[in-house]
Amino acid sequence: MEGAARVFAQDLHAATLFVPAPNGSGLAWVVTPGGAWCRQVFLAGALTEVTDSGDILRCRLADPTGVFDLVIGGKRTSLSGVFKTITVPAFVTVSGTVHAYQKNGGLVVTVRPDSVQVIDRAVRDRIVLDTAEQTIERLEQLREAVAGRGTDEQMPEVVRHYALTPARLQEIAGMVRTAVQSVQTVIPAPVVVPEEPSDVREQVMAIMRTGSGPRGIAVQEIIDQAAAQGIVSGAVLAAIEALILDDECYQPLKGYVKPL
The per-residue pLDDT for range 92-136, each reduced to its tens digit, is 999 999 998 877 777 789 999 999 999 998 999 999 999 999 999
Residue 53, domain extent: 9-119
Domain boundary among 72, 91, 119: 119
Q: Please say if the pLDDT value at position 239 is more than 90.
A: no
Q: Please say if the pLDDT value at position 197 is more than 70.
A: no
Domain boundary among 79, 99, 119: 119
Provide the number of structural domains found in the chain. 2
**Strand, helix or coil for residue 173:** helix
Which residues are CB-contacts of 219 (< 8 A; sequence separation ≥ 6)? 133, 236, 237, 240, 255, 256, 257
pLDDT, one tens digit per residue, over 177-195 is 989 988 854 444 333 333 3
Q: Which pLDDT value is given to residue 24?
A: 64
Domain assignment present for residue 30? The answer is yes
Percent over 90 (pLDDT), the chain: 47
Q: Which pLDDT value is given to residue 65?
A: 92
Same domain as 99, residue 162: no
Distance, in Å, from the CA atom of 105 to the CA atom of 58, rounded to the nearest integer, reads: 23
pLDDT, one tens digit per residue, over 136-170 is 999 999 999 998 877 778 899 999 999 999 999 99
Over range 199-220, report the average pLDDT: 86
Same domain as 33, residue 128: no
Which residues are CB-contacts of 61 (< 8 A; sequence separation ≥ 6)? 9, 43, 45, 46, 47, 48, 67, 68, 70, 92, 94, 111
Q: Please say if the pLDDT value at position 25 is more than 80.
A: no
Mean pLDDT, the chain, rounded, equals: 84
Same domain as 62, residue 33: yes
Peptide bond into 89 cis (omega under 30): yes
Q: Please say if the pLDDT value at position 55 is more than 90.
A: no
